[in-house]
Amino acid sequence: MSTESPSIRRAVEAAAPTVSLELESRPETLTLVRGMLAGVAELLAMDPELLDDLKTAVSEACNNVALHAYPTGPGSLAVLLSSTKEGIEVIVRDHGIGIAEHEVADDRIQGVGLQVIRALSTQSAFRAPKDGGTEVWMLFAGERDGKPLFDVPEPAAPDDGWSKQLTGDAVVSVSPIELLGGVLGRISRALAATARFSLDRFSDVYLVTDAISAHASTASISNRIAFAITAGGRQMSLVVGPLKEGSGIALDTQSREDGSRSPLHVLTDELELIRAGGSEMLQVVMIDHRE
């Protein structure tokens, strides 16, 4: 069942995603999804009511994947967000068992939450992709009473698929680069919490992700960048790229005005530059060494 306008759907789906987030369909991953939305909203100066609608509707769609898409255990979950003059578009996609068309029309189905999604989004659709699974498409209006509800960013750079070579608890592709700080910071802190970082070490995550974002703003190959984070057992590993080959040299000389070294040197346990097909990936590892 669909409440979408084909012309608007074609307009928004033609755009490259502003953010793509791939993770496993566990209930706790809702924290990562909501953190990503908050990070985007911060940069776009999003209207608080719009952000609340986004969080509620997208969480409902993701929660349905966690509860119903994979009967035998967690599976893949993708959230694609695009911000254009038409509004905020979000696609929640899984490759699970899917739901038949007659079931989509039945609002009584436990956990689907179609009524919530329809009520909060301007347009929505529930679809069955050709490669299986389920896709929930939502569009949220960018204006209310003639006033914009968020600052439209510059067009997202094409998704070059670079993130496909990354693995982790969360794999993210972001464009424009200015979004990296908010999205990376919030997702990193959420995963640091699940890894049971101490309060002091948790605070270090702020400084490290800010330093990574600052480096990426000048070292990124294009206006799109990807990162992957794996966390657990008081340890977190983060990989970000693609970066210009040789850009890591700046990290060896990077210092503050007072002569102190970058947080990337001081606060990480491992710092490595990995060459990958004419580009570089920056990998950092943070460990909480508390007893």
Tell me, what's the pLDDT at 27? 76
Q: What burial letters (b/e) apply to 38-55, b meaning 16+ CB within 10 Å?
A: bbbbbbbebbeebbebbb
Q: Is residue 275 part of a domain?
A: yes
Q: Residue 16: left if φ>0, alpha if ψ -120 to 50, beta else—which one?
A: beta
Q: Residue 48: left if φ>0, alpha if ψ -120 to 50, beta else—which one?
A: alpha
Q: Is residue 175 part of a domain?
A: yes
Torsion of CA 89, 94, 97, 99, to 10 degrees: -10
Domain end marker among 148, 176, 197 = 148
Question: Do residues 88 and 94 touch, judged by C-beta distance below 8 A?
Answer: no
Q: Do 125 and 194 share a domain, yes or no?
A: no
DSSP conformation class of 87: E
CA gyration radius, the chain:
20
Q: Is residue 58 part of a domain?
A: yes
Q: Do 63 and 173 share a domain, yes or no?
A: no
Q: Report the SS3 class of residue 174.
A: strand
Question: Do residues 38 and 186 touch, judged by C-beta distance below 8 A?
Answer: yes
For the chain, give the number of residues: 291
Tell me, what's the pLDDT at 56? 93
Tell me, what's the pLDDT at 15? 61
- Biggest CA pair distance of the chain: 66
Q: Which residues of the chain have pLDDT under 50?
A: 1-12, 14, 101-102, 107-112, 253
Q: Do 238 and 118 share a domain, yes or no?
A: no
Cross-strand partners of 23: 77, 170
The reported pTM is: 0.86
Q: Residue 168: left if φ>0, alpha if ψ -120 to 50, beta else—which one?
A: left
Overall domain count for the chain: 2
Q: Do 13 and 108 share a domain, yes or no?
A: yes
Tell me, what's the pLDDT at 109? 46
**What distance in Å separates the CA atoms of residue 76 and residue 24, rounded to the nearest whole number?**
5
The pair of three-digit structure tokens given for residue 44, joined into one six-digit string: 């776009």
End-to-end CA distance of the chain: 55
Tell me, what's the pLDDT at 1? 39
Q: Do 218 and 282 share a domain, yes or no?
A: yes
Q: Report the SS3 class of residue 8.
A: helix
The pair of three-digit structure tokens given for residue 209, joined into one six-digit string: 């992700």
Full domain range(s) for residue 96: 6-148
Q: Is residue 99 part of a domain?
A: yes
